[in-house]
Amino acid sequence: MSAPLGLASFHGVIKHDLKVAMRCKSEVLTSLSFFVIVVSLIPLGVGAERDMLRQIAPGILWIAALLATLISLNRLFERDYLDGTLEQLLLSPAPLGVLILGKVVAYWLLTGLPLTLLAPFLALQFDLPPSSLYALTASLLLGTPVLSLLGAIGASLTLGLRSNSVLLTLLILPLYVPVLIFGTAAVDVATGGARTGANISLLGAMLVLAAFFAPWATAAALKIALE
């Protein structure tokens, strides 16, 4: 009975968070607008030199995606914390880790997935070849869920604290560095004409580990925050 209950609760959390987000579309659009503005301004400031644009494109695109994810992490648990929904989740018969995973999936659908879909079109400004666009999409498709899962840990640790945005940044950025390195390397290697299998595989391994451990670590931190 626990497996069907957990699966139903998982889907219920995703549907609930998506419905709530659609009522406050400005919050969803903030991170997307930030991503588009940052990526679009760099070519204007650097110039139209193709070789330079191709060289800096992987880092710029991935850093912009990372920051866009980071600035929206506060809303992951804050609203539920203020209205008492988190306390109801703690009392739910479904495993808390499963419910947290549902919230992270909903957050990624609203933030990470749109960033991933937008990135190849924005990357055209940097004159990247098709192979690099494929690598960029694949790396973001694997990397942005890892950012969301790790970000959930930081968001739970700083929940209810004053100036939690600064503390959240200090806690999460070191965890984001490996994702940034392998994601950037995948696009950079593809631009040079080499295979990206190693970097993509490492991102996939990081996603599996984060999906397994992060929800339970987040659940433990939320229980401490609500005590």
Q: What is the model's pTM?
A: 0.90
Place of tokens 């909903």: 106
* Dihedral sign from CA coordinates of 156, 212, 70, 172: positive
Task: Calculate the average pLDDT of the chain.
Answer: 86
Asked if residue 147 lies in contact with residue 182, where contact means CB atoms within 8 angstroms, the answer is no
Span 45-54, mean pLDDT? 79
Q: Name the token pair of 73.
A: 């992490």
**Is the predicted pLDDT of residue 128 greater than 90, yes or no?**
no
Asked if residue 140 lies in contact with residue 115, where contact means CB atoms within 8 angstroms, the answer is yes
Asked if residue 94 lies in contact with residue 17, where contact means CB atoms within 8 angstroms, the answer is no
Cα of 85 vs its chain's centroid, Å? 22
**Is the predicted pLDDT of residue 20 greater than 90, yes or no?**
no
Asked if residue 64 lies in contact with residue 39, where contact means CB atoms within 8 angstroms, the answer is yes
Q: Which of 226, 3, 39 is nearest to 140 (CA)?
A: 39
Q: Looking at per-residue confidence, does 66 or 23 come out higher?
A: 66
Q: Name the token pair of 70.
A: 């980071």
Exposed/middle/buried for residue 106 (C-beta within 10 Å: 0-12, 13-18, 19+): buried
Taking the C-alpha atoms of residue 177 and residue 200, their distance in angstroms, rounded to an integer, is 15
pLDDT of 113 reads 93
pLDDT of 26 reads 75
For 171-194, write each residue's pLDDT tens digit.
889 999 999 999 999 998 887 777
pLDDT of 163 reads 64
Exposed/middle/buried for residue 179 (C-beta within 10 Å: 0-12, 13-18, 19+): buried
For 58-90, write each residue's pLDDT tens digit.
899 999 999 998 888 887 888 877 777 778 888
Quickly list DSSP for 10-54: HHHHHHHHHHHHHHTHHHHHHHHHHHHHHHHHHHHHH-S-HHHHH
The confidence band for 196, taking pLDDT boundaries of 50, 70 and 90, is confident
pLDDT of 1 reads 41
